[in-house]
Structures are given as C-alpha cells and as structure tokens.
C-alpha cells in the first residue's frame, strides 16, 4: 500500500472490519479522508466499497446481520466508541446520496426541508425557505425548480432527482457527504452536472464517492483507494493511481486487464 | 480473480499493438535511411543519396499514421496507467524518429553536393561517427520495443561517446580548413553532416528516456553530463 500522508484528516477508519453473519466482507481497512477533498473508492463489485461507506455514518446498524469492529474517527471522536455519537446526529453530520435517486413522494420543497425539520434546525416559514433555496442553489437545481417547488420530487428527471437528493443531503449542513455510485443511473449530461456539483461542493464538504467509472474517479477525486476482496490494496493521489499505480492489481483493474 | 497480460476487451490490445507495430516499421525504415545515407557518403553514390531523399516520405507517412492511431486510442479507449504511457510515448518516439530520418535525408542532400567536389580526408571519421549513431539508434529501438528499461539506460550512456567523437571530428575538420582553404566548401558540408549525426544521437537519447518512462513510470532523474565542447572550439580565434 503506497500512501501519501493526508494533510487535514476529517475522518479516518482504523482496522475497520464488517461481518455479515459469518461472512467477512471488510477485512480491517485503514483509510484517511481529508477535509475539503474528494476521495474515490474503486474496485470490483462485491469488494466492500458500499459496506465501507455505510460504516462511515453507521448505516450498517440498520442491517441486522452486520457486525462492525474497528474504529471510525470523525474529528478525533470515535463514531462507534462507548458514548459515541448518536447515529441520528451522526447522519446529519455525514450525509449520504445513493445510487438510484430516491426522492420522497413529497413536494420538491418538502424533500429538501425534510432533514432540517427532522432535526428541528430552522423555524417554518422564511427561515426554512432560505435554507431550501440555498440548498437547491448549491445543488445547481434552483433555477430549474424555483417555479415548481410544490410539485412532487418524483416528477423531475433522473438527473434532477439526483441533484434534489444532494440538495436534501446538504440542507442539514453536513460536514461529509457519502455518495454511492451517484451517477450510475444518469445520462452523460446529467452525470457531468453532478460531477461539476461534486467539484463545487468539495470546497465546503469532505466527499467520499464510490464509482464504477474509472474516468469519473479520475475526474472528480483527489485521492483514490482501490478495494479488492474486502481490503484496500492501494491508496494514493488520484493522479498517481491513474498514471503510475504501485500495485500490479491496481494497474490490472484500472486498465481492464483483470479477470 | 487476478491480473493478466491481456485486456478483457481484446480489441484494445489490437489497437495498442498497432502502435508498436507501426513504430517497429518506422524505426526499421529510419535505420535503413540512415544506413543508406552513410553508405552514399562513403561510396560517393548520388543515386543512393537520391533514394534516401525520396524515402523520407515513407517515414513521414508512418509518423502520420502513429499520430492518428494514438489520437484514436486516446479518444476511444481513455487509456490509463501503463496503457496511457504506451500511447503517449508512442506519439513522442514517432516524433523523434521522424526528426532522425529528416537529419539522415539532409545528410544525403549534402552528400550529393560533396560528390561534385574533391574528396576530403575527415570523411573517414565522419563515417565512423555515422556508424556509431546508427548502432545506438538500432539498440534504442530494440530496447523500446522490448520494454527494456535497463537496456535503455545502458544505450543512453553511449551518447557521450558520440558527443566525444563529434567534438574531435569538429576539430579535425577545422584543422583541415585552416591548413587548406580550398577544402572549406566540402569541409563545411561535412561539418553540417557531423552536426546532423550528433543530433541523431540526441534524439536516440530522448528515446532511451521515453523507454525508461514507458516501462517504469518514472523519469530518468539523473542529469546527463554534456561534454560536447565543440561549441566553444575556435573561440580563441574570435577574440
Ligand atoms: N446486507 C448484506 N447482507 C449480507 N451480505 C452482504 C450485504 N451487503 C453486502 N454483502 C456482501 O458483502 C460483500 C461486499 O459487498 P458491498 O459492500 O456491497 O460491495 P461493493 O459495494 O464493493 O460492490 C459482498 O460479498 C456482498 O455480497
Ligand atoms: Mg456497492
């Protein structure tokens, strides 16, 4: 594993393992995620990328067979430690965007207002309006939906729905945004818009993205981690991984000589 | 799962393979252009020189093909890692070979002028310089095509020898011109040809470095030592 030291660590995993029943899906993974950076997770299907991502905001807690061991540290605090962070609060700090856009069957406005309301962050009315607007603006969706905020979120196109989900995630002012293959259901234009959004969001948020597109990892991330069989084989600056990976497995995977 | 030599998408291997095939063909052509240019000089054969001048177009055609093929692979396959290095170095190596062949053709042009003039003694040393460069070019192309970084580094050392022979040849030619001003015209052509050959050595050196980069992903860090002092020879006469 060739790792370059990460400047400003926002979140890190140490010896992170996950069992589903008897099956060991994640084998003691170490990874540092830097503040204000995009970290891409790549690797073949079933290698544990989603499992890893779900550990970061304790989404695995919702899977009955899943057992997590090891540590996830957010700003120096152990997410799984005794008296650790409350999972609901943690998920406000560590938001998630999924592969398939999954807006609630509610209005566009209510979709974005959902998190702030859940956490009682803002007063109904003008205050909440401002948050909804600024979240939609940050998600690059405001101009497209400002005149139809009462329409259902599900009435939007796929790409718009995904940006709505991103607006929903950022409405609670998270510090970290996790994205699990956020563009795999989108066409190239919608994908480009989401990638541009990731670029902009990375100024204010720490982003961890799982992607099956090598080119997407190359385009949007500053660091790339290559997962294989539940382990990280190599992690490094994205530029280095895609021009001169240290590990032959990484090279085999990204060049398509892996089978 | 494991890694293999071959890409899962077989046509990708074919497209990449075309680059090496074209470089092998182009390199072979450039070598024979150089060999013929040297032969034309040595045997004062103007017909052979004419063939060399004509033959340059074939090398240029190879260069054009490699450019197109590389752009196509970049656009359609978005290569990364060693595949990317293969494509990028193919582009650059083709450029170097094209320049080497140009220099050989230029030497052939001058040889036709030389054939109109009486022979001069330093031609023997010039032929020796040409043969040295030719061997270096052959070896570096072999190293490139066989992905041999170590061999490329060894070949790279040889540029020093070419530079040394060039510097002493430069002095030799200068001496002849000073001793017998009637030789100034042929000797100045000789001087330009010698410079061409020395430049061929530099292009070959560039290819050794590209070979090293293609194979290892690293640049040749160590700095080359330049001991070619011909650029200051005769300076004392100018002051
Ligand atoms: N809820 C689950 N129950 C049981 N096994 C699971 C569950 N989720 C994932 N796995 C298994 O864990 C391994 C890693 O899966 P996952 O994290 O989804 O990989 P990736 O996201 O890299 O495709 C796979 O073998 C998968 O079958
Ligand atoms: Mg997954």
Map out the domains of chain B as residue ranges.
3-216
- What pLDDT sits at residue A6? 66
In this predicted structure, the answer to whether residue B225 has a pLDDT above a threshold of 50 is: no
Cα dist from B73 to A2, A256, B13, B44, whole Å: 29, 14, 11, 44
Neighboring chain A residues of B13 at a CB cutoff of 8 Å: none
- Local structure of A197: helix, strand or coil: helix
- Local structure of A83: helix, strand or coil: coil
CA–CA gap between residue A135 and residue B175 (Å, rounded): 81
pLDDT: which is higher, A173 or B234: A173
Domain ranges for chain A, please list them: 9-104+178-254
Distance from CA of A2 to the nearest CA of B (A): 15
Examine the predicted complex and report whether its ipTM is higher than 0.85. Answer: no
Summary mean pLDDT of chain A: 93
pLDDT-derived band at B226, boundaries 50, 70, 90? very low
The contacts of residue A194 (CB under 8 Å, 6+ apart) are A159, A162, A163, A166, A182, A183, A186
B3 DSSP β-pair partners: A258
- What pLDDT sits at residue B96? 98
- What pLDDT sits at residue A186? 84
Tell me which residue in A214, A243, A258 faces B3 most closely, judged by beta carbons.
A258
Cα dist from A77 to A31, A69, A175, A193, B131, whole Å: 15, 16, 14, 34, 70
Could you report the per-residue pLDDT of A62-114, keeping only the tens digit for each? 999 999 999 999 999 999 988 778 888 899 999 999 988 999 999 999 999 99
CATH code for the domain defined by A9-104+178-254? 3.40.50.300
In this predicted structure, the answer to whether residue B1 has a pLDDT above a threshold of 80 is: no
Say whether A248 and B9 touch across the interface (CB within 8 A): no
**What is B3-216's CATH topology?**
Methane Monooxygenase Hydroxylase; Chain G, domain 1 (1.20.58)
Distance from CA of B62 to the nearest CA of A (A): 27
pLDDT-derived band at B224, boundaries 50, 70, 90? very low
| CB proximity B235 to A under 8 Å | no
In this predicted structure, the answer to whether residue A2 has a pLDDT above a threshold of 90 is: no
- What pLDDT sits at residue A190? 86
- What pLDDT sits at residue A81? 83
Neighboring chain B residues of A245 at a CB cutoff of 8 Å: 81
Could you report the per-residue pLDDT of A115-136, keeping only the tens digit for each? 999 988 888 999 999 999 999 9
Is residue A51 within 6 Å of ligand 1 at its C-beta? yes
Mean pLDDT of B138-152: 96
CB A169 within 8 A of CB A112: no
Mean pLDDT of A234-255: 95
- What pLDDT sits at residue A4? 60
Mean pLDDT of A42-68: 95
């Amino acid at each position: 594993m060739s790792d370059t030291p990460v400047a400003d660590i926002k979140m890190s995993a140490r010896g992170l393992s996950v069992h589903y029943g008897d099956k060991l899906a994640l084998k003691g993974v170490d990874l540092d995620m830097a503040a204000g950076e995009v970290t891409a997770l790549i690797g073949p299907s079933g290698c544990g990328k989603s499992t890893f991502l779900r550990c970061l905001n304790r989404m695995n807690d919702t899977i009955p067979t899943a057992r997590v061991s090891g540590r996830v540290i957010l700003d120096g605090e152990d997410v799984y430690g005794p008296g650790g962070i409350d999972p609901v609060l943690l998920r406000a700090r560590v938001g998630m965007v999924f592969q398939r856009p999954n807006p609630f069957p509610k209005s566009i406005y209510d979709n974005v207002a959902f998190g702030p309301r859940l956490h009682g962050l803002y007063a109904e009315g003008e205050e909440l309006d401002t948050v909804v607007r600024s979240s939609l603006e940050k998600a690059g969706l405001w101009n497209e939906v400002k005149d139809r905020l009462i329409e259902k979120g599900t009435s939007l196109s796929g790409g718009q729905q995904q940006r709505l989900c991103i607006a929903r995630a950022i409405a609670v002012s998270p510090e970290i945004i996790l994205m699990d293959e956020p563009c795999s259901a989108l066409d190239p234009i919608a994908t480009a818009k989401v990638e541009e959004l990731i670029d902009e969001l990375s100024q204010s948020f720490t982003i961890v993205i799982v992607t099956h597109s090598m080119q997407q990892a190359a385009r949007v991330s500053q660091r790339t981690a290559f997962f294989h069989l539940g382990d990280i084989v190599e992690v490094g600056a994205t530029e280095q991984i895609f021009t001169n990976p240290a590990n032959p497995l990484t090279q085999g995977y990204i060049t398509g000589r892996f089978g | 799962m494991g890694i293999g030599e071959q890409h899962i998408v077989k046509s990708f291997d074919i497209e990449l393979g075309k680059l090496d095939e074209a470089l092998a063909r182009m390199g072979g052509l450039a070598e024979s252009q150089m060999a013929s240019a040297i032969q034309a000089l040595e045997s004062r054969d103007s017909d052979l020189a004419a063939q060399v001048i004509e033959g340059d177009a074939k090398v240029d055609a190879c260069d054009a093909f490699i450019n197109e093929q590389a752009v196509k692979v970049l656009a359609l396959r978005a290569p990364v890692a060693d595949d990317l290095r293969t494509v990028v170095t193919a582009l650059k190596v083709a450029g170097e070979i094209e320049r080497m062949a140009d220099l050989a053709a230029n030497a052939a042009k001058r040889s036709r002028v030389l054939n109109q003039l009486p022979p001069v003694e330093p031609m023997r040393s010039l032929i020796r310089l040409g043969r040295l460069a030719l061997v270096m070019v052959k070896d570096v192309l072999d190293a490139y095509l066989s992905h041999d970084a170590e061999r490329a580094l060894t070949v790279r050392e040889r540029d020093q020898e070419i530079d040394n022979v060039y510097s002493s040849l430069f002095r030799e030619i200068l001496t002849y011109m000073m001793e017998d001003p009637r030789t100034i015209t042929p000797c100045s052509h000789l001087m330009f040809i010698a410079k061409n050959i020395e430049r061929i050595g530099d292009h070959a050196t560039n290819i050794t470095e590209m070979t090293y980069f293609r194979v290892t992903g690293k640049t040749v860090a160590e700095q080359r030592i330049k001991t070619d002092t011909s650029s200051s020879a005769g300076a004392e006469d100018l002051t």
